[in-house]
Amino acid sequence: MTWMAWRLQRSVFLLFVVMAVVLIGFVIANGLHTESLLHQWNSATCYGTRHGYITKSQVQCGTIFHQFAQSTTYDRYFAMAGGLLCGVLGLLLGVNLVASEIDRKTVRTAWTQSITRTRWLSSKIIVSLGSLLAVGLPLCFTHTWWIGAVNYGSRVAPNAFAYDGWMPLMIGVFAFALTTVIGVLLRRPGWTIAAALIAMVLVMWTMQGEVRANLVPLRTAVVGTTIVTKGDFTGAIPTHVAPKNSWIVFQGYEPLNSGNALLTRGEETRWGNEMNRCETGPISQSQVPACQHKLGLRDVQLYVANNEFWTLQLREGAIYLAGAAFLFELSLLLVRRTKA
Amino acid sequence: MTTPVLETVGLAKRFGRKWALRDCTLSIPSGKVAALVGPNGAGKSTLLRMAVGLSRPTAGTIKVLGELPGHENATLLQRIGYLDQERPLYRGFRVDEMFRFGQGANPMWNMELAHSYVDQLGISLRDQVNNLSSGQQAQVALTMCLAKQPELLILDEPAAALDPIAREDLLRLLMRQVAERGTTVVLSTHALGDVGSICDYLVILSHSSVVLADDMEFVVESHRFLSASSSISPTLPDGVTVIDTRTSSRDVTHLVRMALPIVDDTWQITEPTLDEIIMAYLRLGTSSVASEAHGPHAATRGGIS
């Protein structure tokens, strides 16, 4: 059965291997180039240029900066491509697993051989997971290295987190399991892909918006303000903000006794509006703290520090894995009950 | 008494509001080549799919080789070869890859047998299934069943949509298996010619119910045409069941099933052909003529209780 399972997904797998190899090749080349540019930019030669001074190395360092900017122009898309590749592979393997076989009626041949449906599906699941690992693991390794090499920015922030670490692989496995179950239920490949895509978008949106921030304890930065006057500019500049590259989950006003808990959306709006009503007229150094004091509020940033990256990866990945395991079990149950 | 290869009691299957099969009680003995005959929608494929565990009954029970068919009963599946009417092979596979699949999924698989069959039929192992004619695809599908070396072959319209030569090749392959290994065969068919030439047991399904199930020999021997002038209209002999009646301006002809030999000079008695008997039973479901023979119980011997 292992050979059979492999033969049925061979074309899809090989296509994705080719795509992964191309992407990995580009990512390695781009990563090494960008890393070298960053190294030169951060060297002592460009120290003056970095701080806005005119130096002898001005032209050379300007060129380096320009090349760096150029090499990182499409970073976002390559990061996404790496992340999506596993997800799409999971989707296609999932739809091939049962829905395509039911649609082509080949299950009538497969399910009347001398093997149980449990063994038939288990073998196919294991081989597909092997394919996902074979494509996903090298992709995850190189992407994780590349995101670090090109100084992508915050690794816990939503714009990169799902494409970094082992998340692409975990999302791919979950997409595979979800598509398998939907395929057993809908029995048509086209509808299965459409439904699975919608379901995956919903799952990832929920994970990012509602779940992820609760997976690690949030940290609080109580923001102060300093009125700064420079040239014709006078305004309040925040101080004591969250560290660089953190994922700022909430920024605004909250009651003094709130701790590190997230406010509800209604509370967020309410306290923001209260402060806006209080702060009338031209901003003065004393007005903002006075309003905060009067309303019993503080200006905060609740954030996930960048060094929580692997903890967050582990926990969110575990949720996807547990979800996939449940869905695989469900698909086994459904396949045993389904008619051919 | 040997265990029947296929035994059903009150078997029924409903799809939504429509009954595909109702109150089906029959018993097919082993060692036979049994034909399952009936019009489209009579429930033949439904019955066969339940026999191999592809579908579950709505009511009643079905036993195949003395066991309940089911998706987890691999030992029973090992003893059955099933050919679906749509012959669903993996279109992208080569013939040798189909056989490799068969070998991996069946412990009793005989690769030598599979190779020799397709070799005799002029099909190359390197041919892709998609490029084979429908006749060759049917041959490959049947070879997949035969190479499992099953005790029971369940074939759903194996020769449907085949040209006469392909049909003959397929049936020859089938009969060779029966002769060499004594395999029991249950096949559904629309081709009445095949029934007479290769089968020795007959099951007729009409309108989701079994109307006849018996040995072929006994079926022919137990039916007669009784003809008389319509002006005389004599009384029917005792112990006969009217299956079909045809009237013309001068004569009335009944096809009857008889329990005992008829000795009655008032009727002209002739022996019907197998085709005539089958056609009469197929009409039975749509006609209200066969008053006595309504329901499955009237037209059976042994096979249906």
Model confidence over A121-132: pLDDT tens digits?
A: 999 999 999 999
Instruction: Give yes or no for B84 touching A (CB within 8 A).
Output: yes
Q: Are residues B243 and B179 in the same domain?
A: no
pLDDT, average across residues A197-215: 93
Report the number of distinct structural domains present in chain B: 2
- Is residue B33 in a domain? yes
Confidence at A237, pLDDT banded by 50, 70, 90: confident
Q: Are residues B203 and B91 in the same domain?
A: yes
B298: tokens are 């009237």
Q: What confidence score (pLDDT) does residue A296 get?
A: 85
Q: Are residues B144 and B280 in the same domain?
A: no
Higher pLDDT, A230 or A303: A303
Is the pLDDT at B293 greater than 80, yes or no?
no
CA atoms within 13 A on the CB side of B147: 27
Q: What confidence score (pLDDT) does residue B289 get?
A: 36
Is the pLDDT at A286 greater than 80, yes or no?
no
Q: What confidence score (pLDDT) does residue B285 get?
A: 62
Instruction: Give yes or no for B82 touching A (CB within 8 A).
Output: yes
Tokens 């960048």 appear where?
A306
Q: Are residues B133 and B280 in the same domain?
A: no
Q: Are residues B124 and B265 in the same domain?
A: no
- Enter the pTM of the model: 0.86
Q: Which residues of B touch A127 (CB under 8 A)?
A: none
Q: Are residues B181 and B295 in the same domain?
A: no
Is the pLDDT at B305 greater than 80, yes or no?
no
Higher pLDDT, B227 or B230: B227
Percent of chain B's residues with pLDDT above 90: 45
Q: How far apart are CA A139 and CA A124, in angstroms?
A: 23
Q: Which residue, B198, B215, B232, sits at the end of a domain?
A: B215
Q: How far apart are CA B224 and CA A9, in angstroms?
A: 59
The pLDDT mean for chain A works out to 87
What Cα–Cα distance (Å) separates residue A169 from each residue in A23, A78, A255, B38, B119?
15, 16, 40, 53, 46
- Whichever domain contains B195, its CATH number is 3.40.50.300
Confidence at A271, pLDDT banded by 50, 70, 90: confident
Q: Are residues B30 and B119 in the same domain?
A: yes
Q: What confidence score (pLDDT) does residue B291 get?
A: 40
Tokens 């096949």 appear where?
B187
Q: Which residue, B159, B194, B215, sits at the end of a domain?
A: B215
- Is residue B1 in a domain? no
A253: tokens are 């006003």
Q: What confidence score (pLDDT) does residue A19 get?
A: 95
Confidence at B297, pLDDT banded by 50, 70, 90: very low
Q: What confidence score (pLDDT) does residue B73 get?
A: 86
CB contact under 8 A, A114 and B107: yes
- Is residue B304 in a domain? no
Q: Are residues B112 and B154 in the same domain?
A: yes
Q: Considering only CA atoms, which of B100, B98, B107 is closest in space to residue B78?
A: B107
- Judged on CB neighbours under 10 Å (0-12, 13-18, 19+), A320 is buried
What is the predicted ipTM? 0.86
Cα of B84 to nearest chain A Cα, Å: 7
Where residue B243 falls (left for φ over 0; alpha for ψ -120 to 50; beta otherwise) is alpha
Which of A108, A113, A336 is closest, CB to CB, to B105? A113
Q: Which residues of B6-29 are buried (b: 16+ CB within 10 A; e: fewer)?
A: bbbeebbbeeeeebbbbbbbbbbb
Q: Are residues B199 and B57 in the same domain?
A: yes
Signed CA dihedral, B187, B192, B194, B198: sign only = positive
CB contact under 8 A, A116 and B72: yes
CB contact under 8 A, B77 and A115: yes
Q: Are residues B203 and B239 in the same domain?
A: no
Q: What confidence score (pLDDT) does residue B298 get?
A: 39
Q: Where are the alpha helices (DSSP H) in chain B?
A: 44-51, 74-79, 95-105, 111-120, 134-147, 164-181, 192-198, 216-221, 274-284
Cα of B92 to nearest chain A Cα, Å: 9
CB contacts < 8 Å between A and B, how many?
Answer: 82
Residue B254 belongs to domain spanning? 222-299
DSSP β-ladder status, B18-28 and B6-15: antiparallel
Q: Are residues B229 and B186 in the same domain?
A: no
Instruction: Give yes or no for B45 touching A (CB within 8 A).
Output: no
Percent of chain A's residues with pLDDT above 90: 47
pLDDT, average across residues B88-113: 94
Q: How far apart are CA A45 and CA A31, in angstroms?
A: 22
- Is residue B305 in a domain? no
Q: Around Cβ A169, how many Cβ atoms within 10 Å?
A: 23
Which of B71, B86, B100 is closest, CB to CB, to A336? B71
- Cα dihedral A234, A238, A244, A245, rounded to 10, equals -100
pLDDT, average across residues A293-309: 87
Higher pLDDT, A257 or B225: B225
Q: Which residue, B173, B191, B215, sits at the end of a domain?
A: B215
Q: Around Cβ A294, how many Cβ atoms within 10 Å?
A: 11
Q: What confidence score (pLDDT) does residue A141 get?
A: 92
Q: Are residues B182 and B264 in the same domain?
A: no
Confidence at A285, pLDDT banded by 50, 70, 90: low
pLDDT, average across residues A32-56: 79
Is the pLDDT at B288 greater than 50, yes or no?
no
**By mean pLDDT, which of A70-74, A142-146, A169-173 is the weakest?**
A70-74
Is the pLDDT at A152 greater than 70, yes or no?
no
pLDDT, average across residues B51-62: 94
Q: What confidence score (pLDDT) does residue B3 get?
A: 85
Q: Around Cβ A113, how many Cβ atoms within 10 Å?
A: 24
Q: Which amino acid appears at position B277 of this protein?
A: I
Is the pLDDT at A155 greater than 70, yes or no?
yes
The pLDDT mean for chain B works out to 86
Which of B55, B77, B141 is closest, CB to CB, to A114? B77
- Is residue B83 in a domain? yes
Is the pLDDT at A225 greater than 80, yes or no?
no
